[in-house]
Amino acid sequence: MSTRDRALGALYGLALGDALGMPTQSLSRSDIALRYGVVDRLLPGAPDQPIAPDMPAGTITDDTEQALLLARLLIEGSGQVDPHAFAEALQSWEQDMIRRGSLDLLGPSTKRALDRLADGVSAEQTGRDGTTNGAAMRVAPVGLAYGVEVTRGAAHTALVDAVVESCRVTHNTGLGIGAAAAVAAAVSAGVAGADLPTVVAVAEDAAAVGGQRGHWVAGGSIAARLRWVRGWVHDLTPNELVPALDEVVGTSVAANESVIAAFALVEVLGNDVRGALTTAASLGGDTDTIAAICGAVLGAHHGMSGLPADLLDQVRQVNRLDLDTTVDGLLALRATNLP
């Protein structure tokens, strides 16, 4: 399997997970079970869907759209992301979503940070309390543009530096950066051909490095929670896994809940991409982001052939997705950013 195939798998896996979770985002696990059972197919947003009402089945959300926005800025900036250009692009994206009648707008950390930037606060301070998963959900392109060492204990300096740039305006905290570093490193390691245990181990190492960057905020460490969940979930039966993720790990927009839940699914269901993504879409809470992160990591490892072709074809058609040029641009950067 080629590096390009894995890179395409990462971005298309992100989009597929995002679309599967679209109709269930912000619903409870019990509500999802009552309405849909297990979400094993692409569903439209119901009229009363709190974020994506009446959206066609297979529609992507902010997770994919912001990831592609970040990819464009990385390519245009030769691997660098200017914080003010990023802020302007995010604001323009939200205005476009409003014009389209969508309720899927900027998340709380991002919105607060951009308001501060507009008020003249420096880019180093605008994201000083951003602890949600907004940076992690869109960071996969950094993992394509930057290589990592697939050995334990590596510092992953160049990749983490790039992650910090992508987080600075909105999620400039140890939690925000640690979560985004974990996702970017996992995607990068997957694209490099690492096996899944190594992918998750590299994610943990990068989370530890990223967790030391940015502003300190109270909250359970991303790296420590990743280390814990990897061991804990293996003691659970399949029937125990979903309620455990919902009730113990958590599925909220908090980075140290939803990002950890995504990696727990990678750990347990990593060789069953369809099962991992449909489980993520059925968990409740921030389902689209959990499934998107899970899809990006598993897509990077398994490549395009590992993604459910029937579901992916529908997502590509509904959203008119053609990511070849984007992936080629990111891989051109990767060629100059290998460890």
Question: Cβ(55)–Cβ(316) under 8 Å?
Answer: no
pLDDT band at 101 (very low <50, low <70, confident <90, very high): low
| pLDDT tens for each residue of 146-182 | 999 887 777 789 999 999 999 999 999 999 999 999 9
pLDDT band at 103 (very low <50, low <70, confident <90, very high): low
pLDDT band at 184 (very low <50, low <70, confident <90, very high): very high
Q: Kindly provide the b/e burial profile for residues 258-275, where b requires at least 16 CB atoms within 10 angstroms of the residue's own CB.
A: bbbbbbbbbbbbbeebbb
Given a cut of 70, is residue 254 above it in pLDDT? yes
pLDDT recorded at residue 339:
82
Task: Please name the fold of domain 3-127+227-334.
Answer: ADP-ribosylglycohydrolase fold (1.10.4080)
Q: pTM score > 0.85 for this model?
A: yes
| pLDDT tens for each residue of 59-72 | 999 999 999 999 99
Annotated binding-site residues read 61-63, 286, 288-289
Annotated binding-site residues for Mg(2+) read 61-63, 286, 288-289
| pLDDT tens for each residue of 291-307 | 999 999 999 999 999 99
